[in-house]
Amino acid sequence: MNQFNEDEIGKLLRLKRHEQPPPGYFDNFLHEFHRRQRDELLRQPLWRIGLQRAQDFMFRLNVPAFASYPAAITAVVVCAAVISLKVYQTPETVNVAAQNRAPVITTTTLPDSAWSLSKPVTTRDLGPSLVRTVKDSSHTHRVAAPPRYVLDSTLVSYEPAFRF
Amino acid sequence: MEQPRSDEDQQLVARTQAGEAAAFDQLVVKYTPRLYGLVYNMTSNHEDTNDLLQDVFSKAYKSINGFRGKSSFYTWIHSIAVNMTLNFLKKRGRRFHLSLDDMDASVQNDKEFLELTATSSPVREADLAELQGRLNEAMMKLSDEHRAVVTMFHIQGMPHAEISKILRVSEGTVRSRLFYANRQLQNYLDEFRKNPVS
């Protein structure tokens, strides 16, 4: 016994066109559509109705056609802003390095007799021999870079970890 | 099934976009029977079809201002209907019941029905209700995407090119889905041929 061929399947399926909704269904469909639209409108908050009306207004004015120029200008302005921010935020390495070559600690020393509680505390001058200068080789990282707090990777305690 | 004139639709769309709601009503009246057939044959449930169809027209009305006429209104509204139905079917999953419309009396005079009853013994022996049940069962065994293609091609009589536009897939994909679906339907309906009265 042969199977239904493709043509027969097509014919059988086309019989489904005769499956029709109850009489009057299509006549009432439009009324039902209007009723649902009204219900939906009443359920919407006021701000959404306003937004929709604004959108409709924009579409009628064909705002998207005009919107291409401002959008392009805005894009250019944003790009320029981003680039300028990057330029101004680059660190001034040369200036900072020059400043660091100057003596870091400059204090004045007083003889022991000069120490008195009645006088205000002053800083001690360590003299030119004790003035520490910062050598170029001591710069291990970029001068203007913000301080980095790197935790040491070695263990704080050398006691063996308990393993259970 | 004949495709409606697109210039007439275009005018109705333009009037709707200009704010004339009555023009959209004309589109609703015009497309309801056609879209009903499409959604009904994909869901096999009258109540679901009614709700979906209301949502389809509601969505179309809300987004009609975005319709720029790149495709015909016919293709556009069918795309909305098919996509919404496929989404609905995904959510519905396998929990559903058939709620079938009655076959109208005109089927008895249908030329193809008369041909089938004359040549095919299972169709001749089965009563109309049983035939309808078998067909719907077989349809519901197809995947949602395959059922959509079968509905549009066999039941709605759309050409491959139109289906490919609606589904936004190539014509080759439409043809291959149709081929696969036909093979599956042949297998399901073969049981009907072997055992016409269950």
H-helix segments, B44-127: 46-62, 73-92, 111-119, 121-125
Tokens at residue A39, please?
């219900």
Residue B146 has pLDDT above 80, yes or no: yes
Query: pLDDT tens digits for B120-129?
Result: 666 666 677 7
Query: Which segments within chain B are labelled E, that is strand?
Result: none
Hunting for tokens 């291990």 — which residue is that? Answer: A140
Q: Which residues of A touch B19 (CB under 8 A)?
A: 56, 60
Give chain A's residues under pLDDT 70: 1-3, 59-67, 90-164
Tell me which of A72 and B29 has the higher pLDDT: B29
Residue B57 has pLDDT above 70, yes or no: yes
Which CATH class for the B6-92 domain?
A: mainly alpha
Query: pLDDT tens digits for A9-25?
Result: 888 888 888 888 988 99
Residue contact A18–B194, C-beta within 8 A: no
Residue contact B28–A33, C-beta within 8 A: yes
Coil/strand/helix, residue A133? coil
Round to whole Å and give the CA distance between B110 and B124.
Answer: 14
Round to whole Å and give the CA distance between A144 and A97.
Answer: 8
Domain ranges of chain B: 6-92, 127-194
Residue contact B113–A15, C-beta within 8 A: yes
Q: How many CB pairs under 8 A join A and B?
A: 114
Residues within 8 A of A (CB atoms), B 23-42 only: 25, 28-29, 32-33, 36-37, 40-41
Q: What are phi and psi of A9, to 5 degrees?
A: -65, -40
Residue contact B103–A40, C-beta within 8 A: no
* CA distance readout (Å), B139 to A73, A86, B110, B148, B151: 55, 63, 21, 10, 9
Q: CB distance from B190 to chain A under 8 Å?
A: yes
Q: Global pTM?
A: 0.64
CA–CA min distance B182, chain A (Å): 7
pLDDT for the residue numbered B59: 95
Task: Compute the residue count for chain B.
Answer: 198
Which CATH class for the B127-194 domain?
A: mainly alpha
Round to whole Å and give the CA distance between B25 and A164.
Answer: 78
CA–CA min distance B104, chain A (Å): 6
Round to whole Å and give the CA distance between B138 and B39.
Answer: 17
* CA distance readout (Å), B82 to B98, B153, B157: 19, 13, 15
